[in-house]
Amino acid sequence: MNNLYEILKRLYIHLVFLILLGVSLSLYFNTTYYQKSQVSAVTKSITGFWHKQASKVSNLFQLQRSNVLLLLENVKLRNEIEGYRLKLQMLQDSLMRIDDTSGVFRYIPARVIDNSINSRHNYITLDVGSNDGAYKGMGVICKNNVVGIVSATTKHFASVISLLNTDVRVSAMHKKSGSFGALSWDGMNYRRVVLDEIPLHVNVAVGDSIVTSGFSTIFPKDIPVGRVVDFYIKDGSFLQITVELFADFKTLTYVYLVDSKAKNEIDSLQTMK
Of residues 128 and 164, the one with the C-beta less far from another protein? 164
For another protein, the closer CB: 54 or 63: 54
Residues that bind another protein (CB under 8 A): 12-13, 16-17, 20-21, 23-29, 31, 33, 35-37, 39-40, 43, 47, 50-51, 54, 114, 116-121, 123, 159, 187-188, 190, 250
CB of 127 to another protein, least distance (A): 16
Taking the least distance from each CB to another protein, the nearer of 190 and 256 is 190
The smaller minimum CB distance to another protein, of residues 1 and 61, is found at 61
CB of 104 vs another protein, minimal distance in Å = 32
Within a 13 Å sphere around the CA of 35, how many CA atoms are in the beta-carbon half? Answer: 6
> In angstroms, what is the minimal distance from the CB of 154 to another protein?
14
At closest approach, how far in Å is the CB of 172 from another protein?
A: 23
Task: Report DSSP state, residue 249.
Answer: G
Alpha helices (H) in 139-250, listed in sequence order:
none
Quick one: 37 or 213, whose CB is closer to another protein?
Answer: 37
Residues comprising the chain, all counted: 273
In the chain, DSSP finds a helix count (H) and a strand count (E) of 3, 12
Least distance to another protein, CB of residue 111, Å: 16
Residue 115's closest CA among 12, 9, 251?
A: 251
Q: Which residues touch 230 (CB under 8 Å, ≥6 apart)?
A: 206, 241, 242
Nearer to another protein, 24 or 79 (CB): 24
Residues 6+ apart with CB under 8 A from 181: 171, 172, 173, 174, 195, 196, 197, 198, 238, 241
Q: Largest alpha-carbon pair distance within the chain?
A: 98
Helix (H, G, I), strand (E, B) or coil at 143: coil
**Triad 123, 129, 135: Cα angle to 5°:** 80
Closest distance to another protein from the beta carbon of 40 (Å): 5
